Structure 1
Amino acid sequence: MYLIREIIFIRTILSFVHGAKILGVFPVHSGSHFTLGFSLMRELAYKGHEVTFINSFPQKEPIRNLRDVSVEEIEISVTEFVNDLERFGKMNYWDQLVFMSTLGKTYTENVLKHKNVQNLLNSGEKFDLVIMEHFWNEAMTIFAHHFNCPLVYFSTGPTSIFNSHLLANPSFSSYVPNFLTTHGSRMTFLERLTNLFLDILCDIYMEFRSIPEQNAVLKAAFPNAPDLKTMMYNASLMFVVSHISIHDPLPLQPSIKYIGGHHVGSLKPLPTKIKQFMENASEGVIVFSMGSILKSSNLYFQHKEVILKVFSKMKQKILWKYEHDLDGLPSNVMISDWLPQQEVLAHPNTVAFISHGGLLGMIESVFFGVPILGIPTYWDQYKNIEDVVRRGMALKLNLHDLTEETFSNALNDILNDPKYRKNAKLRSKIMQDQPMKPIDEAVFWVEYVIRHEGAPHLKSAALHLSWYQKYLIDVILFLSFFGMFVLFFILSIIKCVFFNRKVYINPYEKNK
């Protein structure tokens, strides 16, 4: 009987976990953001979970256990922001915050009022868990509240001042670099001073502008919704796309899990045309991509002209992700509007990767041990590039400083100095030396949260403290006033004993 009860219990647990209904919320219209979310959602579907996936890139061929809720029309609403991305790199810190929060507000509004999302919210369905990409969209925590289930955040980057507060993760300005800087953890005095200033600036911006804006978006879409802060600080877990091979070690709460590299999967065969091009490259292949948002075809004419001149003089072949036809293409250059990036980076003939510094490309380059020439243009790309530069596997070149001389010199340095490839291979070894695959770890923690009904035991007590309590401001003030009181009391006693004492004069002595 005991054995039978054990078998029934185990089967109940397994059926509960492997049959869970999971809602994934990844609506950002960006190929890289989609890839990160899709990799996890697809794996959960493969594991037998029933996955509903809000996204902007619905599948053309159905995947078992995965249902798309398409919001691909939001691309139109964010087009004006995408067109401004090349200007983004010239903005000051405050304007960058305004740009990003306005972008987030725009796409959040459009997603929440989208007919497909509204149909889902009004469907009466039940979910066991919501996994939500966190990207300037806190109002979307309404999904977990509406379906009365645990919430897991998915950060498409490392821990930072913009997400650490959600799970009370320590973020000391002395050694945790701000997202808007290119600092590493080992900062000089001036860098720490700048870092502290930017942390305070970001805190002020989020507290008094970004979060109130998101709360207004929430109330406009759901007038009866609770205040945003009661929902956004109620998450069970956060996945972070980071790894110590790329980012400096930082403190983590037990409720925050690194899964950097989870999207790097089994490689598919290369398309015939690309395979032949790469196989016949006796001097190696340089892979060039500016990502999925700021396309190579949108580069300024003078930049394209410089790039083509330098490529025409290279003995290597160049595989360039370019979205339209291009006149004057050198014979050693092949363009394609799409590249199987993992597969071409994994090819043994690949000798360098020219990249805008998107996190996916950085992770894939590290995983496959490919040196990088980074040309960042906006937001996290500057810091991503600097992180791999500090590890000796990359060089950085500013797009606004791109000339034939600077581009040629940087590219030749990456190709001819063996230290870059050596350090890239070292970082690859570190990233691949893990006890389990990141995707398997992500699935485990998703199922863990479901098994433990939100896993409240992982949540830090700091989530229940006010900011002044968290930083012991009340204790410091108490000790300061108490110390001042004690000092005043001691000084008063000294004054009474030594300075207010009356001298006694013998009257007989006085008459004499």
Structure 2
Amino acid sequence: MNLLGVLFFHIAFCNGAKILGVFNHPGASHTSLGKVLLKSLAEKGHEVVMISSFPMQERVSNYKDIPLPEHLEDLQRRNKMYFNKDQHSALQELRNMTLQHTEATFTNVGVKELLQSNESFDVVIMDWFFNEATLIFGHIYNAPVIFMSSFGNMALLNDFSGNVLPYSYVPGASILMSDDMSFQNRAIMTVFNVANSLYTVRRNRAHHEILKRYFNNPPTIEELKENIALVLSVSHFSFETPRPYTPNIIPIGGFHIQELQGLPQDIKQFLDGAKEGVIYFSLGSQIKLENLNENIFSSIMTSLGKASQKVLLKYENDLNYLPKNVKVVKWAPQMDVLAHPNIKLFITHGGVLSMIEAIHFHVPMICVPFNGDQNTNAAFIESRNIGLYIKSDDITEDVFTKMIKEVTSNPKYQREINFRSSLLRQQPVKPLDLAIYWVEHVIKHRSGNHLKTFATKLPWYKYYLVDVIGFFLCLAYIFIKIIFFTIKKLFCLTRNLLGYFTKSKTD
């Protein structure tokens, strides 16, 4: 039996692949997704190297971290960027940050050592967050690249996936609108997507400049994108607008939900003792409540104090005054909290992972979105009657109190969230198993070209049929010109004939 065990171990090890994970954006939610997938792949016998700002807390066999602490430190210095009211300025800071983090990846000591080593990899799994220059890892190791999209299946993926997402009903990743769009909404979506397509060219050029500073004669970003085998998309129709998918986009929404780890004793006692229910308030890992306007924060705290339920509040610092029904924690295991039967409402920033977890554990929401996909998620939450949303600037004591009472007392929100939960839970294949299957599919075939539509090879004017439309417009123009020419000639001929007969009668 011992011999068989050793034999099976060596067979599994020999069949295992070498996987490089590149999650250089220091967002905790982004990296947590990558860690769930890459840890599972390591447990299956694959050898994993993970570049991220959040190394594993526990030891995992076949799993090696290359930490990027400088990225996390920079993000923490920018913690007020999410409260920037100037959209243009906020976008500019986001662009500058992602460029800076991408370039800093190549100057990291651990990454430089990796690039100078003789390591080889069978596949590169990357978090996609405006970090196109890191596609160079696939080129260096001659390995296919798998993108993971934390924001789901969105138009920003279209240029390299060949997918088509109509602007008429698929809302953008940063616009507060649902799929039921007015004319104004559709006009905004069109401008937004066209502008992004134009900016993509500029962003690709900026990332190529980064590569030229660290590599000799690097391929263009457009050439590197051809090596993207598929996209693992954190998406599912239970929590986003139903939309088209090409075969190279695999929806794996909810794959990060694992077995519960158990609540800390103090939180467990607080939740267990709440016969009237509990409101859980958390704005995620990056948005700090302490950065809210003082009047808005005061309105929130007063509203929570008026609630008939107890409140578990995630807050970063100590508070001088707390309502009697509020317990403050600096950190809480969110999934374990949401799974508790006494949780009646989740007040959230609307990040996609928080939304998925609330739906999975059938907890209605009040969403306070700040930026990015939080806006789109908030609009979806309200449009599907699984909660309400309010912008932070619109919060007043009276309005927030009424919203809390509405969601906790109106049964429609619980009924609809239960329905959405059943959609998310009852999938034919577990999302994590689906993700692992497709990673191993790409490893086995060393490519994902067989999954791509021919759209990825077409220039934009062919993709959008500009040449065909132009051809038919020319035909229509020529046809109209011929008709007008014919009418003109007939008119002249008729006039000449009338003149001739008139003259004949006069003579």
Normalised to the residue count of structure 2, the TM-score between the two structures is 0.91
Query: Are residues 1:279 and 2:272 paired?
Result: yes
Query: Cα distance, 1:273 vs. partner?
Result: 1.2
For 2:483 and 2:384, the matched residues in 1 are separated by: 57
2:142 — aligned with what? 148
The Cα of 1:478 is off from its aligned counterpart by 2.2
User: 1:413 aligns to what?
Assistant: 406
8 Å CA contact 1:77–1:106 kept in 2: the answer is no
After superposition, give the CA deviation of every residue in 1:412-457 in whole Å (9 maximum; x if it has no partner). Answer: 1111111111111111011111001111100011011111221321
1:334-345 to 2 correspondences below 5 Å: 334-345=327-338
- What is the CA distance between 1:311 and its match in structure 2? 2.4
Give, in whole Å, the separation in 2 of the partners of 1:391 and 1:296. 27
* Paired AA for residue 312 in structure 2: L
Aligned mates of 2:256, 2:278 — CA distance in 1: 24
State the partner residue of 1:4.
Answer: none
* Correspondence for 1:162: 156
Pick from 459, 466, 477: which aligns with 2:470?
477
Alignment of structure 1 residues 334-483 onto 2, 5 Å: 334-483=327-476
SS of the aligned residue for 1:176 comes to coil
Deviation at 1:143, TM superposition (A): 0.7
Give the structure 1 partner of residue 5 of structure 2: none
For residues 137 and 76 of structure 1, what CA distance do their matches in structure 2 show?
18
Over 3 Å counting, the alpha-carbon distance change for 1:310 and 1:482 in structure 2 is: closer
Q: Percent identity?
A: 37
Q: 2:86 aligned with 1:91, yes or no? A: yes
Q: Which amino acid aligns with 1:158?
A: G
The 5 Å alignment of 1:28-43 reads: 28-43=25-40
Deviation at 1:372, TM superposition (A): 0.3
User: For 1:180 and 1:342, how far apart are their aligned partners in 2?
Assistant: 25
The reply on whether 1:126 has 2:120 as its aligned counterpart is yes
CA contact (8 A) 1:180 1:380 kept: yes
Partner residue, 1:68: 65
RMSD, aligned CA: 2.3
Does the CA-based 8 Å contact 1:78-1:107 persist in structure 2?
Answer: no
In the alignment, the residues of structure 1 paired with residue 366 and residue 33 of structure 2 have an alpha-carbon distance, to the nearest angstrom, of 23
Match of 2:263 in 1: 270
Name the CA distance, whole Å, in 1 between partners of 2:484 and 2:402: 71
- Which deviates further from its counterpart, 296-305 or 466-475? 296-305
- Counterpart contact for 1:394–1:420, Cα < 8 Å: yes
SS across alignment from 1:152? strand
Q: 5 Å matches for 1:18-37?
A: 18-37=15-34
Q: Give yes or no for the alignment of 1:57 onto 2:57.
A: no
Contact kept? 2:176, 2:376, Cα under 8 Å? yes
Unaligned runs of 5+ in 1: 1-10
Letter paired with 1:345? L
How many angstroms apart in 1 are the aligned matches of 2:144 and 2:226?
12
Deviation (angstroms), 1:205: 2.1
CA distance in 2, matches of 1:421, 1:117: 48
Any gaps of 5 or more consecutive residues in structure 2? 1-7
- Verify the 8 A CA contact 2:161 2:248 in the aligned structure 1: yes
Please give the secondary structure, in 2, of the residue aligned with 1:353.
strand
1:314 to partner: Cα distance: 2.3
What are the Cα deviations for residues 357-406 of structure 1, in whole angstroms up to 9, with x where unaligned?
Answer: 11110000011110001111122211111111111011112211222112
CA contact (8 A) 2:25 2:98 kept: no
Residue 171 of structure 1 corresponds to 165
SS of the residue aligned with 2:142? coil
Structure 1 position 324, deviation (Å): 1.8
Choose from 202, 209, 212 the match for 1:216.
209
Question: Which amino acid in 2 is paired with 1:91?
Answer: D
Q: 1:83 to 1:257 in 2, by over 3 A?
A: same
The 3 A distance-change label for structure 1 pair 448 and 139 is same
| Farther off after superposition, 443-452 or 486-495 | 486-495
Distance 1:303 1:242 in 2: 32
* CA distance in 2 between partners of 1:95 and 1:202 (Å): 16
Q: Does 1:258 align with 2:258?
A: no
Counterparts of 1:85 and 1:396, CA distance in 2: 17
For 1:324, the aligned partner's letter is N
Question: Shift in Å at residue 48 of structure 1?
Answer: 1.3
* Structure 1 residue 103 corresponds to structure 2 residue 97: yes
Query: CA-to-partner distance for each residue in 1:156-189, whole Å, 9 max, x for gaps?
Result: 1122232222211102222222223222223222
Pairwise mapping of residues 307-326 of structure 1 onto structure 2 (< 5 A)? 307-326=300-319
Note if 1:249 corresponds to 2:246.
no
1:126-169 residue CA offsets vs partner (Å, 9 max, x unmatched): 10000101101111101111111001111111222322222111
Q: Which residue of 2 aligns with 1:81?
A: 78
